[in-house]
Chain A
Amino acid sequence: MKKEHMTVGAIREIAHRIYEMKLFGTIATEVKMPGQFLHILPSHQLQPLLRRPISISHVNQEEKELTIVFRREGEGTTLLANKTPGDTVDVLGPLGNGFQVEEVSAGDSVLIVGGGVGVPPLYDLARALKEREANVTTVLGFENKEAMFYEKAFQSFGEVFVSTVDGSIGTKGFVTDVIQEKNISFDRLYACGPVPMLKALETNYPEAVGSLSLEIRMGCGIGACFACVCHVQGDASGHDYRKVCSDGPVFPWREVVL
């Protein structure tokens, strides 16, 4: 974990308002697992003031290169999207605990489910699981065809299915509709996306083994400010908690209250 000015490499809009950016620096050599994230300061002005947590989608340790994917949404991500190659960005990272790929064995059937900007951290997860010779199936959900990205990239790891809310491509509906329609079975389930998507998966697969990654507003990103806590399932006292930034953002299914 360090604070560093990383150098912006290629940046391109890969879907409507979705940007893929390469960042170079030594933080890349410290990434330990897929699912970790960066806390990025989009400006050194007083506004916007705070860092933005953005997950790492791909690491190339030898080239000291990180790939991030984010949606241009507000002031901060717009500033970030407007960076050009050679610019530097103030980055704190790598932060958080990611996916434990060691728990997956060769031959395991693994289902990876991503929704919208929840898709990026699953990319290196799928890659790592493929390397462990797991049978990877991916289901990706988007608003519409224009917002879709990485569906081809995931094809190098196994079969890929897509759902869109408006049905402009793939199955019309949600990721859960695709899983039922295609009758996909799995030993392990990994997911990242909006909370309603994660909740639907947890409801449909109450015995699921594997983990999920949460997105939440953060302050410090390192566990000091208690902005991003969540409740723990089965905690009667109501006082138990997990910090998404430093205990997560990846948690086993049914550990935290969604």
Chain B
Amino acid sequence: MTALRVELPGLDMKNPIMPASGCFGFGEEYAKFYDLNVLGAIALKAATHKPRFGNETPRVAETPAGMLNAIGLQNPGVEKIVSEKLPWLEQFETPLLANVAGSQVEDYVETATVLSQSGKVAALELNISCPNVKEGGIAFGTDPDLAAELTRRVKAVSDIPVYVKLSPNVTDIVVIAQAVEKAGADGLSMINTLTGMKIDINTGRPLIANETGGLSGPAIKPIAIRMIREVRRQTELPIIGMGGITSVEDVIEFFLAGADAVAVGTANFINPYICPTLIKELEEWMEAKGYHHLRDVKRKGGWA
């Protein structure tokens, strides 16, 4: 297992695989299928300062090799997450990456402060890329100055490392990555979903109540791979890669693109065992190919 070990800021991971934020709730449902201790880390569902119901339904729609979702950051608010969700997660040794969302800088700062001070999470993941809330979120992810300012403000109150989750809904993702790196980000996670829409040809109306939703699943993988490679060329920051991973071959491709760890999202809905399956298959793949460490895989991609 040591061959799979990855040490990223705040995240001492026994393997590089974690479920992605929003696709795994706070772990309770998946703990009925397997021991969450096998995971490299867990990215928690987004927390906001105040409770949110989220969007009306339908919130999901299937698309070619993918799905659209517009959940709308439904969560019980950061106080309840800390008092009701995190204590249950403490039974696992797996490090927690807490996703932080909001509509104004102050929301992010307050939520990040509470999570950082809880002592129960290993790192923060700043969600500046949720396409499904009208009040903001993604606005921070599409403007390098706003992204940098938000990163600085959250870094100022956080005692734990801060990863910034980048939006692919931009012309040049490298500019945003460099801006948050300069502002003190400890790492990047990328990519969030791409804004999309599906129209019901019988009703003539968008299938999702929110009209637009975030596209995820295998359909977006080539975009994630391209963007990670572009960003990897320009920054030293660790990258948690995500976007349509369903197989061990996909995991390898993300490492070759320049990721240091990966997150699995939509695939959890298809196979609740996908994370432990990929962990096992990654170990077998490396053994079969004669790799002793993930570094060797990354080196093949051109990253030392």
Contact = CB atoms under 8 A, between A and B. Distances in A.
Interface of A: 1, 3, 41, 46-51, 92, 216-231, 237-239, 241, 246
A216 B269 contact: no
Interface in B63-77: 64-67, 69, 71, 74, 76
B217 interface: yes
* Chain B interface mostly: loop
B217 A217 contact: no
Nearest to B221: A46
A234 to B, nearest CB: 15
A5 B52 CA distance: 38
B62 A49 contact: yes
Interface string B37-80: 00000000100000111100111111011110101001010000
B289 interface: no
Interface stretch (B19-27, B170-178, B232-240, B294-302): B19-27
B271 interface: yes
Contacts of A238: 53
Nearest to A2: B33
A157 B65 CA distance: 44
B270 interface: yes
B59 A220 contact: no
Contacts, number: 97
Nearest to A217: B58
B58 A225 contact: no
Contacts of A216: 57-58
B71 A226 contact: yes
Given A220-B268, A229-B57, 18 more contacts: A46-B217, A47-B64, A49-B66, A217-B57, A219-B59, A220-B272, A222-B32, A223-B28, A225-B23, A225-B269, A226-B71, A227-B71, A228-B57, A229-B54, A238-B53, A239-B51, A239-B76, A241-B53
A224 B24 CA distance: 6
Interface string B190-215: 00000000000000000000000000
Given A41-B270, A49-B65, A219-B69, A230 B57 contact: yes
B29 interface: yes
Contact of A50 (B23, B29, B67): B67
A46 B65 contact: yes
A201 B25 CA distance: 34
Contacts of B76: 239
A26 to B, nearest CB: 15
B59 A51 contact: no
Interface residues of B, number: 38
B151 interface: no
A77 B286 CA distance: 38
18 contacts: A3-B272, A49-B66, A50-B67, A216-B58, A218-B60, A219-B60, A219-B67, A220-B23, A221-B269, A222-B29, A223-B25, A224-B25, A226-B25, A226-B71, A227-B60, A229-B53, A239-B51, A246-B29
B266 interface: yes
State the 8 A-B residue pairs at the shortest beta-carbon distance, nearest first: A224-B25, A224-B29, A46-B65, A227-B60, A220-B269, A222-B29, A239-B51, A217-B58
B52 A51 contact: no
Nearest to B216: A49
A170 to B, nearest CB: 26
Given A46-B246, A47-B64, A241-B74, A3 B273 contact: yes
B60 A49 contact: no
